[in-house]
Amino acid sequence: MGDLRRYFGLEGGAAYTGARFEGLGGGGDRVGVAAEDLVAVQMLSVTVPERVSLDLLEGDLGQQMSKLLREIPCELDMVDAEAGELESGSAAEWAWDLLDAQYGVGWVKAGKLLARKRPRLLPVYDRVVRCVLGSPSSFWLDLHRALRADGHALHHELLDLRERAGIPKTVSALRVCDVVLWMAHHEDHRPLRCPGHGTLSV
């Protein structure tokens, strides 16, 4: 719990910039990608390339993303979602594939941008977290099963941890999970030596 409180600046020191990821500019749960969303992902130490950013804000890519985001519920928690919301052929996976295919984006940035847009349903996932967990065949579906197991025990544990740490309820259970895993390993992460180095299936 101490790591979680430190991340959000509740132990007397400055918060990590990622503490503002979900809430910056009022949050990201609108339909289209906004400039605030592109700034928010920078709080997690990644930058969407300039041309892709402009296309998301003003071009065809942004229109395609808006269409897909309309099909992805913004107030649905992953634990309450059906697997169909996350598996192959879902709007969420189409959106991830679309972003991942853009030059200079890739799976980490694609995942972080989608987590900004739908923080309760889609998790942040990067090489540090992947290193902690190994290399699951489908992170979204594996996490979905874990959250739903044993009467949603893990989901309730994350909510309880959020309350005990004094973190606002606007921070999703998925984000609590991400921060706990990331804080546990980021200082020891060595990209070329960890399982998180490589490709990904969501």
Neighbours of 149 (CB within 10 A): 11
Alpha-carbon span 171 to 168, nearest angstrom: 6
Confidence of residue 191 (pLDDT cuts 50, 70, 90): low
* Confidence band for 130, pLDDT divided at 50, 70 and 90: confident
Residue range 16-50, pLDDT digits in tens: 999 999 999 999 988 889 999 999 999 999 999 99
- Mean pLDDT across the stretch 101-112? 96
Provide the residue type at 16 as one letter. Y
Q: Angle at CA 160, nearest 5°, toward 12 and 176?
A: 60
| Token couple for 51 | 């041309």
Q: pTM to 2 decimals?
A: 0.91
